[in-house]
C-alpha cells in the first residue's frame, strides 16, 4: 500500500461521514452497485464506514443484460468475497420486447436503465439510494447536492434543491419523496484511481489494457464481447491493445487505445490525459444538456 | 502529488464575470479535456456572450436554464489541482434571490474569492457577499477586481475600490484581504502575471490560492465527537461511530457523554485498517468504551472542558424559505448529529446589508439574515460558531415540507439549567391525574366555522362531568376576548394566538385535567405546534368533518354570509384555506351522525385509550 495523499484522506473521511448519515437516517437504504470503478470505491468506503459490522444495506444492480461478461463475473465474485446481499433487477417488460442497444438507440437506455431503476426503487420501497456519481463527470452533476431529493416518480427538480450546509444532511422526506445520495460527489476520476491504487482495491479487469477484438465506429473503439454483436457490412473484428475508462453496456461503452496494464500506469495516464471520461459514453452526446434531461427523468 | 485540500468559495454580482474567471482558471490549469473544449466552442457559438470568442462561463453554468439565461442559479462544484494542492471550488450565484445557494457554498469553504467589476466598484451585492462570507466564518478573502481591461488597466480605479472595501472591514469583523486586479477573459493575473498591469507586484490569483492556509488545524483543543451511529453487529461489540470534530484521542483517555454527564475511558479506536494508537480531528473512527454507558446518536463525546448543554440559543439565522420566519413557529433543529424541536422565541434584528447595520424587526423574509433566539425541546451540546462550525452551525427544517428552510450560526448559549426543570418527583401531573381518576389529555377539535366543534365539545364535556371527570374548555372565540385580546389576525399574530392556547392547554394537562379545545386551527403546522406541547399519547386531534357547503347552509353566526359579501376577509373555507388533518386520532363526519352519536364516539375513544376508566 502506498501512502495516501492528505487530500484523499479528507475525501475518504467526508464519504464515510455521508455513508454513516445514510445508515442513521434512512428507513430502507440501498446501494446502487454498477460494478464499475466508482462502485468498487463506494463499496470499499462502505466497508470502512461500518467495520466491523457488515453493510447495513443491500446492493442493487440494474442488469440491462448487455453488461460485459467480465462485469457480471466480477460482480458475483465481489458479492461472495464480501458476503454482501445483492439484489438484481431487470425490466421484465423490456426484456420480453427484446429492447436492445442495436435496434432501439436511446430508448434502450430509457427502458432498460432509467425505467428499470425506477421500477426497482419503487418495488423495493427504498427511501435512500446511494450512488457513485461524481460532480466532475458532467456539468449538471456539478450542481447536484450530496443528499439529492427526488419528487414523486423519481424526478429531479434542479431549480428547487435544498440548501445543504456544512456536513449537515437533511434526510427528511415528505410523502412520495425519495433521496439519492452521492458520497463520491467531490472526488475526481484521478482521485478514484489514486485511491484504488493506494488502497489496493479490486476492479473489473476491463480497466486494464489487453488484446481485445474490436471494431471502429464513428471514431470510437467498440469491443466485441459476445456473439450478439452485429457487424456492419465490411466490418471484421480486429485485435487491439485497449482498455476502458468508463464501463456501461457493451456496445455503448467505447474503449480507449491504451497500453496501461497496471494501476501505476493507469494513474500516470490519467494525469496526462486530454480527453474526458464520458467521451466514451455514447449515450451522453446525443443532445445538448442530455444528462440533465435524463437526470430529471430519474436516471442516476 | 498535492499535499492538501483547499475549499474555495467564489462569489460575485451578476455580470461580474465570475463564471468566466473560473472557466479560465480551470482551462489554464489543464482541467478541461479536449473533447469538452470542442463542446465549449460549439456552445459558445450558440449561447456565448463573447463576440467571436470562447465563452469560458459556459464551462461552469451547468443547468440548461443557466445557459439560456446567462446567469448562475445554483452553486456548482469544480475541481482542479496544481502540483501543490487540490482545490474544490464552490462557484456560487451572485443574485440576491439565490442567496441560499451562496450560503450553501460558503458553509464549507476555507477561503473566498470575491469578484468585483472594475467599472462598477462595490455594489450592495458585494457587501451582502462580504457579510455572508464573514458570518459563515471565512477569514481569508481575495478581492478580485475584474474587467480591468475595460478601465484601461488603471491603477487609480483599482486602488479606489480596494480602499472602499477596507472601509467595510470595521463592520464585517476580522477578514484578511488580498486584492488582485484581473482580466478573467484574457487570463491576466489569473494564473500568469499581467503584462498590461506592471504596476501590480503581488501574487496571481492561483498563487494566492496555493499559498492560503486551510482553516483550523490546531489539535490543542479539547476532544469533540458527535456520535453519528451506534455500531452493534452482535452482543460482543458496541462501537460509537463518528467523525472527530476537534482535538485528538488515545486509548485510555477519558471522555464524557455531554448529554448525561457520564464518563468512560477509551478502550479501542477501531478502523478497518486496524486499531489506532491515536486519532485526530477530521478522522472517521469507531470508539469502543471501557464500560457500558448510555450513548446514542446525537450525543457528543467530549474531553474537558465540556461543551455547553444549551436549552436556548441566540444565533444569526439566514432565512431560506418563501414563508417568512415568525416568532412562535417551531422547526426541526439539526445541529451536529442531534435533531430536536426548536421554537423561535424572539427575532431581534435584521442585518441591513446595504448599511451593514442592524434594524429591529418582527419577522425575517426569504434571504434575510437576522438575530434570532431559539428555545430547544431537549438539551443540545453546542459551542459558538466562531469556535466550531460543526457544533455551532445548524439548520432549521420545516416539519411539513421537510425542506431545509433556515441556516444558523450560534452566537450565544443559555444552558439548560437543572433548576428550571420541572420537579417531577413530588407532585406531578400523573399524581394529580390519579387523584382525578383519569389521565390528562388535550382533545383538540378542529374544523371549519360552523362545523359543530363547540356543540360536540360541550356534549362531551357534559358527559365527562356526569361521569365525575375533571375537565376544562378553551374556546377559540372566548380566548380572544381575554388572554389574546392584544392579537390581531396577521400570520404572526395567529401563530402567537395558537402558541398561547397550546401553552395554556399544557398547564391544564399538568394540572391533571382533560382539556377540550375547540378552535378552527386551519393549518397543519400550527396544530403540530400544539401537539408538540404535550406528550404524544396526551394529544387527540379530533377532526369535525363538515363540508363547507353544509357549514354555509347552517351558518349559525351569519359569518359565511358576511364573508361571501366581502365584509370579512381571510375567512377560512371562503377565501383562506383549511388544511384538513391527514391522520387525526378521531374523525367525526357530522353528515353521518347526530352530535350525540359523535360525542359518544369521542367518549369511547377516551375509554379505549385508557384516559378514562
pLDDT at residue B493 tops 50: yes
What CATH number corresponds to the domain at position A60?
A: 3.40.50.620
B401 and A174: CB-CB below 8 Å? yes
At B561, which helix (H) or strand (E)?
A: helix B559-564
pLDDT at residue A40 tops 50: yes
Q: Grid coordinates representing B31? A: 482541467
Summarize the confidence of residues B317-332 as an average pLDDT: 91
pLDDT-based confidence at residue A288 (cuts at 50, 70, 90): very low
pLDDT tens string A170-229: 999 998 999 999 999 999 999 999 999 999 999 999 999 999 999 998 888 999 988 888
pLDDT at residue A152 tops 90: no
Q: How many CB pairs under 8 A join A and B?
A: 173
pLDDT of residue A281: 58
B78 and A142: CB-CB below 8 Å? yes
Q: Domains of chain B, with CATH numbers?
A: 5-211 (3.40.50.300), 224-302 (2.40.30.10), 308-420 (2.40.30.10), 429-608 (3.40.50.300)
Range of the domain at A250: 203-285
pLDDT of residue A78: 95
Q: Is A211 on the interface with B (CB under 8 A)?
A: no
Task: Please report residues of B whose CB lies closer than 8 A to that of A16.
Answer: 243, 284
Nearest CB partner across the interface for A165, out of B63, B77, B393? B393
Q: Of B67-81, B99-113, B397-411, B412-426, where does mean pLDDT reach its minimum? A: B412-426
Task: Report the complex ipTM.
Answer: 0.91
Is pLDDT larger for residue B495 or for residue A11?
Answer: A11
B73 and A24: CB-CB below 8 Å? no
> How close is the nearest chain B Cα to the Cα of A142, in Å?
5
pLDDT at residue B60 tops 70: no
> How close is the nearest chain B Cα to the Cα of A172, in Å?
5
Tell me, yes or no, whether A98 and A160 share the same domain.
yes
Beta strand B514-518 pairing with B224-226: unpaired
In this structure, the number of other CB atoms found within 10 A of the CB of residue B265 comes to 12
pLDDT-based confidence at residue B51 (cuts at 50, 70, 90): low
pLDDT of residue A284: 47
Task: Please report residues of A whose CB lies closer than 8 A to that of B333.
Answer: none
Tell me, yes or no, whether A183 and A227 share the same domain.
no
Tell me, yes or no, whether A184 and A241 share the same domain.
no
pLDDT of residue B419: 41
On average, the pLDDT of chain A sits at 89
B64 and A159: CB-CB below 8 Å? no
Is the residue at A226 inside a domain? yes
Q: Is A167 on the interface with B (CB under 8 A)?
A: yes
pLDDT at residue A20 tops 50: yes
Summarize the confidence of residues B593-599 as an average pLDDT: 91
What chain A residue is nearest to B235 in terms of C-alpha separation? Answer: A53
Is the residue at A1 inside a domain? no
> How close is the nearest chain A Cα to the Cα of B534, in Å?
23
Q: Grid coordinates representing B411? A: 452566537
Q: Is A135 on the interface with B (CB under 8 A)?
A: yes
Tell me, yes or no, whether A52 and A187 share the same domain.
yes
CA angle B365, B366, B367 (to 5 degrees): 110
pLDDT of residue B212: 86
Is the residue at A197 inside a domain? no
A142 and B3: CB-CB below 8 Å? no
Is the residue at A23 inside a domain? yes
Nearest CB partner across the interface for B403, out of A159, A162, A276? A162
pLDDT of residue A279: 64
pLDDT at residue A293 tops 80: no
pLDDT of residue A46: 97
Tell me, yes or no, whether A47 and A90 share the same domain.
yes
Q: Of A259-268, B334-343, B498-507, where does mean pLDDT reach its minimum? A: B498-507
B402 and A174: CB-CB below 8 Å? yes
Chain A (24-83) residues lying within 8 Å, Cβ to Cβ, of chain B: 24, 47-54
Is the omega angle on the peptide bond into residue A52 within 30 degrees of 0, that is, cis?
yes
A166 and B390: CB-CB below 8 Å? yes
Tell me, yes or no, whether A120 and A167 share the same domain.
yes
pLDDT at residue B576 tops 90: no
Summarize the confidence of residues B130-135 as an average pLDDT: 91
pLDDT of residue B420: 41
A53 and B237: CB-CB below 8 Å? yes
Is the residue at A115 inside a domain? yes
Tell me, yes or no, whether A212 and A188 share the same domain.
no
Interface test with B, best of A27, A144, A168, A294 (most B CBs within 10 A): A168
Tell me, yes or no, whether A131 and A264 share the same domain.
no
Give the span between the Cα atoms of B578 and A25, in whole angstroms: 32
The reported pTM is: 0.80
Tell me, yes or no, whether A224 and A104 share the same domain.
no
Give the span between the Cα atoms of A17 and B494, in whole angstroms: 41
> How close is the nearest chain B Cα to the Cα of A58, in Å?
15
Summarize the confidence of residues B403-422 as an average pLDDT: 79
Interface test with B, best of A83, A150, A164, A165 (most B CBs within 10 A): A165
What chain A residue is nearest to B83 in terms of C-alpha separation? Answer: A271
pLDDT at residue B421 tops 60: no
pLDDT tens string B12-27: 876 778 878 888 888 8
pLDDT-based confidence at residue B547 (cuts at 50, 70, 90): very high
Q: What residues of B act catalytically?
A: 521
pLDDT at residue B61 tops 50: yes
On average, the pLDDT of chain B sits at 87
Nearest CB partner across the interface for A7, out of B4, B43, B108? B4
A5 and B3: CB-CB below 8 Å? yes
Task: Please report residues of A whose CB lies closer than 8 A to that of B85.
Answer: 7
> How close is the nearest chain A Cα to the Cα of B39, in Å?
9
Q: Could you tell me which residues are beta bridge partners of residue B142?
A: B113, B178
pLDDT-above-70 percentage for chain B? 92
Is the residue at A135 inside a domain? yes
pLDDT of residue B216: 61
pLDDT tens string B142-201: 999 999 999 999 999 999 999 999 988 888 878 899 999 999 888 899 989 999 999 999
Closest CA to A128 of A80, A169, A81: A169
Tell me, yes or no, whether A116 and A245 share the same domain.
no
Tell me, yes or no, whether A37 and A132 share the same domain.
yes
pLDDT of residue B155: 95
pLDDT-based confidence at residue A29 (cuts at 50, 70, 90): very high
Q: Is A271 on the interface with B (CB under 8 A)?
A: no
Closest CA to B103 of B528, B389, B524, B498: B389
Is pLDDT larger for residue B440 or for residue B93?
Answer: B440
The number of distinct structural domains making up chain A is 2
Beta strands in B498-548 (DSSP E): 514-518, 539-545
Summarize the confidence of residues B269-276 as an average pLDDT: 95
Nearest CB partner across the interface for B103, out of A165, A274, A288? A165
DSSP string, B475-487: EHHHHHHTTTTT-
Tell me, yes or no, whether A70 and A42 share the same domain.
yes
Is the residue at A198 inside a domain? no
pLDDT-based confidence at residue A289 (cuts at 50, 70, 90): low
Residues 6+ apart with CB under 8 A from A94: A111, A112, A115, A116
Is the residue at A215 inside a domain? yes
pLDDT of residue A286: 45
Summarize the confidence of residues B548-571 as an average pLDDT: 88
Q: Is A152 on the interface with B (CB under 8 A)?
A: no
pLDDT-above-90 percentage for chain A? 65
Summarize the confidence of residues B472-493 as an average pLDDT: 82
B63 and A174: CB-CB below 8 Å? no
pLDDT of residue B425: 43
pLDDT-based confidence at residue B49 (cuts at 50, 70, 90): low
What chain A residue is nearest to B401 in terms of C-alpha separation? Answer: A174
Q: Is A272 on the interface with B (CB under 8 A)?
A: no
pLDDT of residue B422: 39
pLDDT-based confidence at residue B416 (cuts at 50, 70, 90): confident
Q: Of A96-105, A271-280, A286-295, B38-47, where does mean pLDDT reach its minimum? A: A286-295
Helix (H, G, I), strand (E, B) or coil at A45: helix
Q: Of A68-72, B98-102, B363-367, where does mean pLDDT reach its minimum? A: B98-102
Give the span between the Cα atoms of B265 and B252, in whole angstroms: 5
Summarize the confidence of residues B491-501 as an average pLDDT: 83
Closest CA to B299 of B361, B364, B367, B245: B245
Amino acid at each position: 500500500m502506498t501512502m495516501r495523499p492528505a487530500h484523499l484522506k479528507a475525501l475518504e473521511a467526508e464519504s464515510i461521514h455521508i455513508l454513516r448519515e445514510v445508515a442513521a437516517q434512512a428507513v430502507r437504504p440501498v446501494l446502487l452497485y454498477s460494478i464499475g470503478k466508482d462502485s468498487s470505491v463506494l463499496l470499499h468506503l462502505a466497508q470502512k464506514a461500518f467495520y466491523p459490522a457488515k453493510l447495513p444495506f443491500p446492493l442493487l444492480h440494474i442488469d440491462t443484460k448487455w453488461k460485459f461478461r467480465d462485469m457480471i463475473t466480477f460482480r458475483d465474485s465481489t458479492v461472495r468475497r464480501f458476503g454482501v446481499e445483492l439484489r438484481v433487477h431487470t425490466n421484465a417488460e423490456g426484456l420480453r420486447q427484446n429492447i436492445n442497444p442495436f435496434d432501439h438507440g436511446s430508448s434502450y437506455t430509457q427502458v432498460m436503465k432509467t425505467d428499470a431503476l425506477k421500477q426497482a426503487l419503487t418495488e423495493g420501497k427504498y427511501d435512500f439510494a446511494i450512488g457513485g456519481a461524481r460532480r466532475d463527470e458532467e456539468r449538471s452533476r456539478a450542481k447536484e447536492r450530496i443528499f439529492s431529493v427526488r419528487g414523486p416518480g423519481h424526478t429531479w427538480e434542479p431549480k428547487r434543491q435544498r440548501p445543504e450546509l456544512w456536513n449537515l444532511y437533511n434526510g427528511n422526506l415528505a410523502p412520495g419523496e425519495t433521496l439519492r445520495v452521492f458520497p463520491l460527489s467531490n472526488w475526481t476520476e484521478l482521485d478514484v484511481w489514486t485511491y484504488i491504487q493506494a488502497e489496493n482495491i479490486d476492479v473489473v479487469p476491463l480497466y486494464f489494457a489487453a488484446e481485445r477484438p474490436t471494431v471502429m465506429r464513428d471514431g470510437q473503439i467498440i469491443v466485441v464481447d459476445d456473439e450478439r454483436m452485429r457487424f456492419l457490412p465490411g466490418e471484421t473484428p480486429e485485435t487491439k491493445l485497449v482498455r476502458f475508462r468508463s464501463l456501461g453496456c457493451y456496445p455503448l461503452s467505447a474503449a480507449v487505445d491504451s497500453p496501461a496494464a497496471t494501476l501505476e500506469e493507469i494513474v500516470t495516464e490519467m494525469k496526462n490525459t486530454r480527453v474526458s471520461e464520458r467521451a466514451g459514453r455514447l449515450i451522453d452526446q446525443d443532445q445538448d444538456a442530455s444528462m440533465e434531461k435524463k437526470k430529471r427523468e430519474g436516471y442516476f | 502529488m498535492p499535499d492538501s485540500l483547499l475549499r474555495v468559495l467564489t462569489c460575485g454580482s451578476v455580470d461580474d464575470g465570475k463564471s468566466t474567471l473560473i472557466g479560465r482558471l480551470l482551462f489554464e490549469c489543464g482541467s478541461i479535456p479536449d473533447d469538452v473544449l470542442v463542446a465549449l466552442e460549439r456552445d459558445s457559438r450558440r449561447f456565448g456572450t463573447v463576440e467571436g470568442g470562447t465563452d469560458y462561463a459556459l464551462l461552469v453554468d451547468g443547468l440548461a436554464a443557466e445557459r439560456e439565461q446567462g446567469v448562475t442559479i445554483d452553486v456548482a462544484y469544480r475541481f482542479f489541482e496544481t502540483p501543490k494542492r487540490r482545490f474544490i471550488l464552490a462557484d456560487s450565484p451572485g443574485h440576491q434571490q439565490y442567496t441560499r445557494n451562496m450560503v450553501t457554498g460558503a458553509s464549507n469553504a476555507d477561503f473566498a474569492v470575491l469578484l468585483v467589476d472594475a467599472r462598477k466598484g462595490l455594489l450592495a451585492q458585494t457587501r451582502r457577499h462580504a457579510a455572508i462570507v464573514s458570518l459563515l466564518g471565512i477569514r481569508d478573502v481575495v478581492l478580485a477586481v475584474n474587467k480591468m481591461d475595460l478601465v484601461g488597466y488603471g491603477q487609480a480605479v483599482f486602488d479606489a475600490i480596494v480602499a472602499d472595501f477596507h472601509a467595510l472591514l470595521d463592520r464585517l469583523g476580522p477578514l484578511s484581504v488580498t486584492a488582485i486586479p484581473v482580466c478573467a477573459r484574457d487570463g491576466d493575473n489569473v494564473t500568469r502575471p499581467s503584462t498590461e498591469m506592471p504596476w501590480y507586484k503581488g501574487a496571481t490569483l492561483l498563487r494566492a490560492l496555493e499559498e492560503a492556509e486551510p482553516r483550523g488545524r490546531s489539535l490543542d483543543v479539547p476532544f469533540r465527537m458527535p456520535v453519528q451511529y451506534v455500531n452493534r453487529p452482535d452482543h460482543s461489540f458496541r462501537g460509537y461511530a463518528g467523525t472527530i470534530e476537534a482535538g485528538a484521542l488515545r486509548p485510555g483517555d477519558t471522555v464524557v457523554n455531554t448529554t448525561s454527564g457520564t464518563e468512560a475511558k477509551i478502550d479501542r479506536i477501531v478502523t478497518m485498517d486496524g486499531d489506532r494508537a491515536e486519532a485526530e480531528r477530521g478522522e472517521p473512527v469507531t470508539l469502543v468504551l471501557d464500560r457500558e454507558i448510555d450513548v446514542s446518536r446525537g450525543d457528543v463525546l467530549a474531553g474537558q472542558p465540556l461543551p455547553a448543554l444549551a436549552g436556548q440559543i441566540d444565533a444569526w439565522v439566514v432565512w431560506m424559505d418563501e414563508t417568512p420566519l415568525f416568532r412562535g413557529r417551531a422547526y426541526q433543529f439539526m445541529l451536529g448529529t442531534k435533531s430536536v424541536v426548536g421554537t423561535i422565541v424572539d427575532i431581534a434584528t435584521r442585518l441591513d446589508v446595504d448599511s451593514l447595520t442592524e434594524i429591529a424587526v418582527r419577522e425575517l423574509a426569504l434571504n434575510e439574515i437576522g438575530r434570532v433566539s431559539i428555545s430547544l425541546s431537549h438539551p443540545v451540546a453546542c459551542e459558538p460558531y466562531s469556535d466550531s462550525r460543526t457544533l455551532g452551525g445548524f439548520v432549521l427544517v420545516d416539519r411539513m415540507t421537510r425542506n431545509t428552510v433556515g441556516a444558523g450560526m450560534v452566537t450565544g448559549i443559555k444552558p439548560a439549567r437543572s433548576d428550571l426543570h420541572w420537579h417531577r418527583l413530588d407532585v406531578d401531573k400523573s399524581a394529580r391525574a390519579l387523584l382525578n381518576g383519569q389521565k390528562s389529555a388535550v382533545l383538540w377539535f378542529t374544523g371549519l366555522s360552523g362545523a359543530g366543534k363547540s356543540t360536540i365539545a360541550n356534549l362531551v364535556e357534559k358527559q365527562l362531568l356526569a361521569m365525575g371527570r375533571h375537565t376544562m374548555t378553551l374556546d377559540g372565540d372566548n380566548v380572544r376576548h381575554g388572554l389574546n385580546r392584544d392579537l390581531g389576525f396577521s400570520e404572526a399574530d395567529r401563530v402567537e394566538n395558537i402558541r398561547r392556547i397550546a401553552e395554556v392547554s399544557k398547564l391544564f394537562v399538568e394540572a391533571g385535567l382533560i382539556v377540550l379545545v375547540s378552535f378552527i386551527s386551519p393549518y397543519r403546522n400550527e396544530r403540530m405546534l400544539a401537539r408538540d406541547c404535550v406528550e404524544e399519547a396526551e394529544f387527540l386531534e379530533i377532526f369535525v368533518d363538515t363540508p363547507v357547503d353544509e357549514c354555509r347552509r347552517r351558518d349559525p353566526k351569519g359569518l359565511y354570509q358576511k364573508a361571501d359579501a366581502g365584509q370579512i376577509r381571510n375567512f377560512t373555507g371562503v377565501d383562506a384555506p383549511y388544511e384538513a388533518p391527514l391522520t387525526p386520532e378521531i374523525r367525526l363526519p357530522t353528515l353521518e351522525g347526530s352530535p350525540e352519536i359523535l360525542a359518544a364516539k369521542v367518549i369511547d375513544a377516551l375509554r379505549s385509550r385508557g384516559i378514562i376508566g
